[in-house]
Structure 1
């Protein structure tokens, strides 16, 4: 049933929202009702609020996959308890709901791949939510339909709680794009919902709107999100820059993902997953969040995001510790829930990826400790390169300070480099120094261009928690001396065994 409905009221609502006296309510039988009031309208950010399509037209379906039947589609119906009771659904196991976004449906290949990888990762009930009947119209209509899909998901989860004893804390809703806000609406109707993951939540009609209009941290006990396409929609960006969760991950700064330049997209990717090849070209950044999440499910692929003010500061090495309380970093992926508190929200976390599968990159923090002998300048400017030799291999002649920067004698300087290779336990470090005698220095020809290095400490940032990062931190010193005097354009060696 509907109250105060009709096209005239809708048109008045769209054209003259100040004339709206009472909210408009739409009800959908046993799944409940939605309300549209003036808080859902904004002349710039949300200019259209349509009536959702009929429930039958949206045709939300729930398809179960388990380890017992990983490839078989088993349909579940909230109003048919036997469809759940006699399936392989196990109410004692964690349950993952996967929700697609605009234009997609439940048969899109990324949902099948994510299902396969989730079942390899853990013994879950994985339920694909197919609302393809409501995702294919115009975007404004699909946006309206998400609220009905949210009611459908909440009704299914609550049915499982009431009739099968499911612990809502063991239910995890994952949604991509429009699906991210859809699971937010679902979470509003599920008491004690454990977790929501937003995969690049959609920007249009949601950015700059009140929190109840979009995904937000109150929608579940724990909400995390990954942002990979945060250019404004005016620049063909589909995802939100605005944080929406307890934890918000911004890989590669959240904007342009490596490998998403059209010239770098393989032909098989263009035709494999998408409705059209053109969609892959324009939505690569928006879809890359799914690839990162799938990648993170592989054993040993530890993505760790670090809290940092911005991407430039992160690459300067300014954000390299989880802190004693492990609040300054978090694992990305399923283990993000290990974050030790729910008191903080909108924690801005950064990490980098590569452009090819596997996307994981190894992040190395470098602490260069300088001595301050009498002949040294108080500070010098220059650049550095490094070579690492470890138990798993070596990385040779990598730039760690490409642009000239200040090194203060008697203090520590933090740097960073990122590579696809993990060298293992570090056994030797080589450091290269190149002095910069340009306008940064005021002492001209009489400057001492040497740098005096006491030790080099390498920390592998792909380790969580802080205790694990410290276990994978290797300090190397110069042999037979307190420090090494490095002249301009010279290399020096450092060994862990030389540190006292």
Structure 2
């Protein structure tokens, strides 16, 4: 999707919303386990209209599409949306190569500022003429998402960092097929672009310019779905890294019609904007890969608005920014992951924790590493890491040098039921972290029960010696927060399991700030 994900708002008030309900019913399903179970028991995903009566209503307004095949002469194979096929849930047939007009820019570490163009329509000769000093070096293809703006600076920033690590890089441009506001047409076009990319990669491999066994496709948003379509046509492709793969029009589709773990030997999906579509979400929380990574829980990112639900009361410009901020965070995160991989021993490497759900992670219930240790995600992710993983980051990359931070588990036990806003700051002897929300105004702490969150501070803060708390009770005649409460225990645990605890029984009052010193490491 574009840098602004700028047409999501218009979908909510246009005929495109009806198209969405016609085919992509599952974008409103909140139970992704139910979605997965349903797909295991039924091969298609359009027959579950009973889930939402609104879909049946929408169907009466939306015309059906003719059953036919297109693009059979483009070297990509034929495409259809025939009933009872994996692709029946697409809203439209894809455009062909003469319309999409993909462009392929090849860069080597030795010539990282000199582009070599690959002509899709004269592929064999074009590939043969490529000058690749070391074909054995790892190869990365970068694919953008929705939107016709060009150039896309994030792609070239990512390319430079990958070249710095001695990788050959291909930038894939398909802006003619990704024009806004036609998101559903662009969704359909992921099939043709994916097939075209597969043809290019296979040609590069056949000509000895790259090796598929060391090749990775990195796709952002709709580009993540393109990576899936490409990978399914590249035998033994090593890796796919999908950056917040597009959710609208893809959630709960047949695995052959979207990104899936079978599309490469190792498929990693990094989720940043799994907010529901009706609230402006551009990604998904559905598992698409072998390793699915949920940054900050995967719904929204720190420093970004909640989404449309929050933005409706603001100006249109803020709505666009709030809806796109979390989605557009992921190319920056992955570029930082690549940059930090140049010196992994002395850099922050986005340590991730296995966990079963976003709710469990946000509740602080998954801050334990397996015996093999917690993995890094992104560029350094090992292929033996399978399942759902979670990592928290900082909210901006300006003051600390990056989004990657040092993660701590902060736990609090109180002597009574507490309802109200509690903000904490973790401090070391020199630096002071930004405020971190332990709980909001309507949240509660149960008496004598532990309340935990994962708090992220700048990476250089290696030892926490003090915690500052600010309490503002919930103001209500009945059911409000107490005027004061006693902190029975406050502890801070690092990734390596070291834990420091204060049990002195400090009392904090409404609107009061308390500073609690922590002992040395236990």
TM-score in terms of structure 1 length: 0.71
Aligned counterpart, 1:319: 366
C-alpha separation in 2, matches of 1:196 and 1:474: 35
- What is the correspondence of 1:288-327 to structure 2 with a 5 Å cutoff? 288-299=329-340, 300-326=347-373
Q: Is the aligned partner of 1:418 residue 2:418?
A: no
Q: Is the 8 A contact 2:70 2:93 kept in 1?
A: no
Mapped to 2, the partners of 1:113 and 1:488 lie a distance apart of 48
> Could you list the per-position Cα deviations for residues 148-167 of structure 1 after superposition, in whole angstroms to 9, with x for gaps in the alignment?
21122111211222220733
Q: Say if 1:199 and 1:290, in contact at 8 Å, map to a contact too.
A: yes
SS of aligned partner of 1:71: strand
1:139 maps onto 2:177 in alignment: no
Q: Where does residue 273 of structure 1 map in the other structure? A: none
Conserved 8 A contact 1:399-1:417: no
Structure with the bigger percentage of strand: 1
C-alpha separation between the residues in 2 aligned to 1:233 and 1:399? Answer: 26
Change (3 A) 1:175 1:407: same
Q: Is the 8 A contact 2:79 2:94 kept in 1?
A: no
Partner SS, residue 229 of structure 1: coil
Match of 1:284 among 321, 325, 332: 325
Q: CA deviation at 1:320?
A: 0.6
Report the counterpart of residue 271 of structure 1 in structure 2.
Answer: none
Q: How does 1:116-265 map to 2 (within 5 A)?
A: 116-120=160-164, 122-136=165-179, 138-164=182-208, 166-261=210-305
The structure, 1 or 2, with the larger RCO (C-alpha pairs under 8 Å, 6+ apart) is 2
Provide Cα deviations, 1:80-122, integer angstroms capped at 9, x if missing partner: 45645542463211111011122236622221222123223x1
Matched, 1:59 2:101: yes
- Relative distance call for 1:118 and 1:451 in structure 2 (3 A) is same
Structure 1 equivalent of residue 6 of structure 2: none
State the Cα distance separating 1:282 from its structure 2 match. Answer: 5.1
CA-based RMSD:
4.3
Q: Is the 8 A contact 2:297 2:362 kept in 1?
A: no
Task: State the Cα distance separating 1:419 from its structure 2 match.
Answer: 4.2
Q: How far apart are 1:433 and its partner, in Å?
A: 11
1:114 aligns with 2:158: yes
Q: Which residue of 2 is the match for residue 73 of structure 1?
A: 115
Distance 1:236 1:432 in 2: 33
Cα offsets for 1:5-52 (capped at 9, x unmatched): xxxxxxxxx9567x96xx746423544444543245899x64x32252
The answer for unaligned runs of 5 or more in structure 1 is: 1-13, 264-275, 371-376, 460-468
Superimposed CA distance per residue, residues 328-379 of structure 1 (whole angstroms, 9 cap, x where no aligned partner)? x5433212x325245x4xx2535344045433343211357x9xxxxxx9x7
Q: Is 1:458 the equivalent of 2:490?
A: no
What displacement does 1:313 show? 3.5
**8 Å Cα contact 2:436-2:455 kept in structure 1:** no
Could you say which structure has the larger radius of gyration? 1
Aligned to 1:28: 73
Q: In 1, are the aligned partners of 2:215 and 2:239 still within 8 Å (CA)?
A: yes
Compute the TM-score of the two structures, normalised by the length of structure 2.
0.68
Tell me, in whole angstroms, the C-alpha distance in 2 between the residues paired with 1:359 and 1:387: 18
Residue 261 of structure 1 and its aligned partner are, at CA, apart by: 4.3
The structure-2 alpha-carbon separation of the partners of 1:423 and 1:140, relative to structure 1 and needing over 3 Å to count, comes to closer
Question: Which sections of structure 2, spanning at least 5 residues, go unmatched?
Answer: 1-61, 308-316, 341-346
Is the 8 Å Cα contact of residues 66 and 88 (structure 1) preserved in structure 2? Answer: yes
Shift of 1:186: 0.6
With over 3 angstroms needed to count, the CA separation of the structure-2 counterparts of 1:318 and 1:77, relative to structure 1, is same
More deviation in 179-188 or 400-409? 400-409
Within 5 A, what are the aligned runs for 1:416-495?
Answer: 416-422=453-459, 424-426=461-463, 428-429=465-466, 456-459=491-494, 469-470=495-496, 473-476=497-500, 484=504, 493-495=517-519
Q: 2:378 aligns with which of 333, 338, 363?
A: 333
Distance 1:39 1:231, change over 3 A: farther
Separation in structure 1 between the aligned mates of residue 426 and residue 94 of structure 2, nearest angstrom? 61
Query: Is contact 1:39–1:210 with CA below 8 Å preserved after alignment?
Result: no
CA distance in 2, matches of 1:117, 1:96: 11
Q: Which residue of 2 aligns with 1:466?
A: none
Partners in 2 of 1:475 and 1:51 — Cα distance?
55
For residues 367 and 155 of structure 1, do their structure 2 counterparts lie closer, same or farther at Cα, with a shift above 3 Å needed? same
